[in-house]
Amino acid sequence: MTNPSILILPGDGIGPEVMTEVEKIIAWFGEARDLKFNVETDLVGGAAYDKHGTPLADSTLEKAMNADAVLLGAVGGPAYDDLDFSVKPERGLLKLRKEMDLFSNLRPAQCFDALADFSSLKRDVVAGLDIMIVRELTSGIYFGEPRGIIKEGNERVGINTQRYTESEIERVARSAFELARRRGNKVCSMEKANVMESGILWREVVTEVHAKDYADVELSHMYADAGAMQLCRYPKQFDVIVTDNLFGDILSDAAAMLTGSLGMLPSASLGAPMENGRPKALYEPVHGSAPDITGQGKANPIACILSFAMALRYSFDEGAEADRLEAAVETVLANGARTADLIGEEGVEPLSTSAMGDAILAAL
Amino acid sequence: MTNPSILILPGDGIGPEVMTEVEKIIAWFGEARDLKFNVETDLVGGAAYDKHGTPLADSTLEKAMNADAVLLGAVGGPAYDDLDFSVKPERGLLKLRKEMDLFSNLRPAQCFDALADFSSLKRDVVAGLDIMIVRELTSGIYFGEPRGIIKEGNERVGINTQRYTESEIERVARSAFELARRRGNKVCSMEKANVMESGILWREVVTEVHAKDYADVELSHMYADAGAMQLCRYPKQFDVIVTDNLFGDILSDAAAMLTGSLGMLPSASLGAPMENGRPKALYEPVHGSAPDITGQGKANPIACILSFAMALRYSFDEGAEADRLEAAVETVLANGARTADLIGEEGVEPLSTSAMGDAILAAL
Ligand SMILES: CC(C)[C@H](C(=O)O)[C@@H](O)C(=O)O
Ligand SMILES: CC(C)[C@H](C(=O)O)[C@@H](O)C(=O)O
């Protein structure tokens, strides 16, 4: 049997810097644990635009469609601010999500005990926090038609369309219920059913799927504005949150920030199973390309490393190895290792990106 | 000259309870400060549905259109959960906002010093916080067409449309810049221009209005997801935030919660000037109808009382009287008066709704 394949797309900004550390980790698993991968690297985002005039070349998309897992760093940056919307770095990422049909985006919001004091929230509000946000990733207002800027009379009008079909809602709801069963067995679904018909359908379909196949899971519903409030007030009330593409974008960023673990949080974007049984999958840190610190060796590689841990768990069925990698991260944090983003005003001396990668390697 | 008129719409749930306290305050201003108002009361939301079969009767809308200011309590509640979307209590409120063309919704997120320890955030992150969120209130995905749940093949599809015209963006941007000049002189505009064309137009128009007439105000732009992050991390970086209807709904709720002042925060929704020079205006607390505590005398009347303070300031040009009322609220809080919502686990004895109203009256 051939080794499973990983396509690495470092992207822009700090993407390549953090990905270098992940490559060290992948190599370690090959040598020390005999978990060997066929790794290939390609361009995405601004880096792809610079070379090909498009943020995602067809050849790259084809590689991604055939890879057992894709690891992505980050896309975007001020150098691309004036590009036309259709070739912006973000379009490359959105096209990958859409073409690979990665409908279920898992975003853990976890508070690492060693970092609880770094949160802007009080320690007891966030310590031990462990939420999983399941964000629908291939539909909604991100992709709905009609869209664009049109002229009406002598005015410009900006238009986007939120559009959700029953089956789009159903499949992401199922993935949330399945996850909940392996965690705290609770799902909270968030929308604005009091204002939007797409929210009414969302609530109805989630309720139907639940009644039909997941009645053992505790289900609640919350308006997204109330959800944002509750996340800020008492986040530990949640286990799994399932929500649409746009609400998921905002709520998961808020939740990530609450944990104080900025620069720490990974994500997995999963699609339907391929022929080999593995889901189509893309793994990426929640943080962006961080142009302000690019090239300075200051970036925190942990979010990207933990994204690879999610790949071990969800693509390669290597839960124990994922645990090993996550434990190594916890160990170095408990020992006081910090990159610059994790240091408050008092400040210990920060580790560089590669020093943090090495510390994690040493703890493995 | 006749006295200025106020239409009071107590609405549902705790709405009538908190409004009773506001009526006492209004009466006090008439007697003690010779500020007399013609006050009329009517139904809205579920209460209006119960009587008229519609959450906003035409006669009520007409009164609202002619009033110098409208004060609203809250709408909605579980008794109305199964109503058809078109007659839900919320539709009454949304129709008022739309028909009165109240495009600029001001939502202060203020941390009252006496309550800073009640926030889930650390004291130094929130103490002294004073943000003004300006939310566009009459357009966007709340009102765009087409909308609804349609059948496609054998699937239901939920559809909503985000739609912003240049002039809709321009007028709310102007109101944000005007406000900023009387505050910290900074505006941060939030959208998702990296994903939505309506966000691109939003950013362009805000930038144009700024360059043309408000170059003295400091303007920045942020993606709404990053904005949610920054609000949770370091909210004091903001002065005025301007954003669309949907993002404003979520971000203002998150911001309100951060302050720890749940049950404390007022809002003003302003439209174009009427013949008498006053803006069309509706004032309402940010909190909802709180069905869980309805009828128990537990509700905090302060948000509704401070909404009347906003009316004094923005509708009646009585800034000094608004200051007086706000100072009375600060005084009772500093003296330790707390309704149940403001009490943590340690817990002092809570004041009832009317006892809090009386305490504020006494401090006036
Ligand atoms: C980069 C951007 C297109 C993206 C999104 O809006 O989905 C990002 O914010 C994210 O959450 O992954
Ligand atoms: C009650 C509801 C329709 C309303 C909204 O979504 O605008 C509320 O959440 C608000 O923020 O005023």
| Per-residue pLDDT tens over the stretch B193-246 | 999 999 999 999 999 999 999 999 999 999 999 999 999 999 999 999 999 999
pLDDT digits (tens, 9 = 90+) for A271-289: 999 999 999 999 999 999 9
Q: What is the 3-state secondary structure (H, E, C) of A110-162?
A: ECCHHHHHHCCECHHHHCCCEEEEEEECCCHHHCEEEEEEEEECCEEEEEEEE
DSSP letter for each residue of B64-104:
HHHSSEEEEEE---GGGTTS-GGGSHHHHHHHHHHHTT--E
pLDDT digits (tens, 9 = 90+) for B94-149: 999 999 999 999 999 999 988 888 889 999 999 999 999 999 999 999 999 999 99
DSSP letter for each residue of B259-287:
TT-TTT-EEEEEEEE-TTSPEEEEEEESS
Residue B40, pLDDT score: 98
Residue B345, pLDDT score: 59
**Cβ-based neighbours of B327, under 8 Å, separated by 6 or more:** none
End-to-end Cα distance, chain A: 27
Residue B259, pLDDT score: 87
Kindly indicate the confidence band of residue A81, based on its pLDDT and cuts at 50, 70 and 90.
Answer: confident
Q: What is the mean pLDDT of chain A?
A: 96
Nearest residue (CA) to ligand 2, atom 6: B249
- Tell me if B196 and A158 make a contact (CB, 8 A cut-off): yes
Residue A2, pLDDT score: 87
3-state DSSP assignment of residue B108 = strand
Residue B157, pLDDT score: 98
How far is Cα B55 from Cα B90, in angstroms, rounded to an integer? 8
End-to-end Cα distance, chain B: 27
What number of residues does chain A have?
Answer: 364
How far is Cα B73 from Cα B14, in angstroms, rounded to an integer? 8
Please answer whether residues B57 and B91 qualify as being in contact, where contact means their C-beta atoms are separated by less than 8 angstroms.
no
Please answer whether residues A209 and A177 qualify as being in contact, where contact means their C-beta atoms are separated by less than 8 angstroms.
yes
Would the annotation count B81 as a binding residue?
yes
**C-alpha distances in Å from residue B273, one per residue of B55, B179, B276, B314:** 26, 16, 8, 11
**Cβ-based neighbours of B277, under 8 Å, separated by 6 or more:** none
Q: Using the atom order of ligand 2, give the atom closest to the CA of residue B90.
A: 3
pLDDT digits (tens, 9 = 90+) for A234-265: 999 999 999 999 999 999 999 998 888 778 99
User: Quick check: A198 pLDDT over 70?
Assistant: yes
Backbone angles phi, psi at A351, to 5 degrees: -85, 150
Question: What type of residue is B94?
Answer: L
Q: Using the atom order of ligand 2, give the atom closest to the CA of residue B94.
A: 3
User: B258-288 burial by CB neighbour count: b if 16+ within 10 A, else e?
Assistant: bbbbbbbbbbbbbbeeeeeebbbbbbbbbbb
Nearest residue (CA) to ligand 1, atom 3: A90
Residue range B155-172: mean pLDDT, rounded: 98
Residue A88, pLDDT score: 94
Task: Please state, for a pLDDT cut of 70, what percent of chain B lies above it.
Answer: 99
Count other C-beta atoms under 10 Å from residue A355's C-beta: 15
Residue range A301-323: mean pLDDT, rounded: 97
Which among A317, A314, A262, A311 is positioned nearest to A19, based on CA atoms? A311
Q: Using the atom order of ligand 2, give the atom closest to the CA of residue B137.
A: 7
Q: What is the mean pLDDT of chain B?
A: 96
Gap from CA of A225 to ligand 2 centroid (Å): 8
pLDDT digits (tens, 9 = 90+) for A322-340: 999 999 999 999 999 999 9
Residue range B320-340: mean pLDDT, rounded: 96
Which among A304, A340, A349 is positioned nearest to A17, based on CA atoms? A304
How far is Cα B267 from Cα B69, in angstroms, rounded to an integer? 13
Kindly indicate the confidence band of residue A14, based on its pLDDT and cuts at 50, 70 and 90.
Answer: very high
What number of residues does chain B have?
Answer: 364
- Tell me if A165 and B155 make a contact (CB, 8 A cut-off): yes
How far is Cα B175 from Cα A90, in angstroms, rounded to an integer? 32
Angle CA B235–B237–B238, to nearest 5:
80
A250 closest CB neighbour out of B90, B201, B225:
B225
Residue A202, pLDDT score: 98
Count other C-beta atoms under 10 Å from residue A334's C-beta: 12
Hey, CA dihedral for B239, B241, B242, B245, is it positive or negative?
negative
Kindly indicate the confidence band of residue A75, based on its pLDDT and cuts at 50, 70 and 90.
Answer: very high
The token duo for B49 is 């549905």
How far is Cα B235 from Cα B220, in angstroms, rounded to an integer? 15
Distance from CA of B19 to the nearest CA of A (A): 23
B chain contacts of residue A196, beta-carbon cutoff 8 Å: 141-142, 147, 158, 160
Kindly indicate the confidence band of residue A21, based on its pLDDT and cuts at 50, 70 and 90.
Answer: very high
Residue B58, pLDDT score: 98
Any bridge partners for residue B279, and if so which? B273
User: Quick check: B261 pLDDT over 90?
Assistant: no
The A266-273 sheet, strands edge to edge: A38-41, A5-11, A69-74, A279-285, A266-273, A104-110, A130-136, A240-243, A186-191, A218-223
Establish whether residue B249 lines the binding site of ligand 2, counting it when its CB lies within 6 angstroms of any ligand atom: yes
Give counts: helices (H), strands (E), chain B.
12, 12
Mutating which of A85, A94, A172, A195 best tests the B interface, going by the most B Cβ atoms within 10 A? Answer: A195
pLDDT digits (tens, 9 = 90+) for B14-47: 999 999 999 999 999 999 999 999 999 999 999 9
Mutating which of B97, B161, B200 best tests the A interface, going by the most A Cβ atoms within 10 A? Answer: B161
- Which domains are present in chain A? 1-114+262-364 (3.40.718.10), 130-258 (3.40.718.10)
Residue A10, pLDDT score: 98
Nearest residue (CA) to ligand 1, atom 11: A249
A chain contacts of residue B251, beta-carbon cutoff 8 Å: 228, 250
pLDDT digits (tens, 9 = 90+) for A131-155: 999 999 999 999 999 999 999 999 9
Please answer whether residues A39 and A71 qualify as being in contact, where contact means their C-beta atoms are separated by less than 8 angstroms.
no
- Tell me if A257 and B228 make a contact (CB, 8 A cut-off): yes
Tell whether A91 is within 8 A of chain B (Cβ): no
A229 closest CB neighbour out of B121, B162, B254:
B254
The token duo for B58 is 């035409």
The B69-74 sheet, strands edge to edge: B38-41, B5-11, B69-74, B279-285, B266-273, B104-110, B130-136, B240-243, B186-191, B218-223
Would the annotation count B145 as a binding residue?
no
Which among B139, B134, B191, B192 is positioned nearest to B165, based on CA atoms? B139
Active site members of B: 142, 192, 225, 249, 253
Residue A17, pLDDT score: 98
Residue A349, pLDDT score: 87
Alpha-carbon dihedral of residues B137, B140, B143, B149, nearest 10 degrees? -140
**Cβ-based neighbours of A187, under 8 Å, separated by 6 or more:** A176, A177, A180, A210, A214, A217, A218, A219, A220, A239, A240, A241, A242
Rg of chain B (C-alpha set): 20
Q: List all residues of chain B from 276 to 305 with a beta carbon under 8 Å from chain A.
A: 288
Would the annotation count B12 as a binding residue?
no
With 0-12 CB in 10 A as exposed, 13-18 as middle and 19+ as buried, what is A351? buried
User: Quick check: A346 pLDDT over 70?
Assistant: no
Q: Helix %, strand %, coil % for chain A, to 5?
A: 45, 25, 30
**Cβ-based neighbours of B161, under 8 Å, separated by 6 or more:** A159, A160, A161, A162, B141, B144, B145, B146, B147
Nearest residue (CA) to ligand 1, atom 8: A249
Residue B2, pLDDT score: 87
Backbone angles phi, psi at B315, to 5 degrees: -100, -35
Gap from CA of B344 to ligand 1 centroid (Å): 36
Nearest residue (CA) to ligand 2, atom 3: B90
Q: Using the atom order of ligand 1, give the atom closest to the CA of residue B195.
A: 3
Would the annotation count B249 as a binding residue?
yes
pLDDT digits (tens, 9 = 90+) for B36-80: 999 999 999 999 999 999 999 999 999 999 999 999 999 999 999
Establish whether residue A195 lines the binding site of ligand 2, counting it when its CB lies within 6 angstroms of any ligand atom: yes
Would the annotation count B234 as a binding residue?
no
Half-sphere exposure of B186 (CA within 13 A, CB side): 10
- Tell me if A159 and B256 make a contact (CB, 8 A cut-off): no
How far is Cα B243 from Cα B233, in angstroms, rounded to an integer? 19
Please answer whether residues A163 and B58 qualify as being in contact, where contact means their C-beta atoms are separated by less than 8 angstroms.
no
Distance from CA of B69 to the nearest CA of A (A): 25
User: Quick check: A6 pLDDT over 90?
Assistant: yes
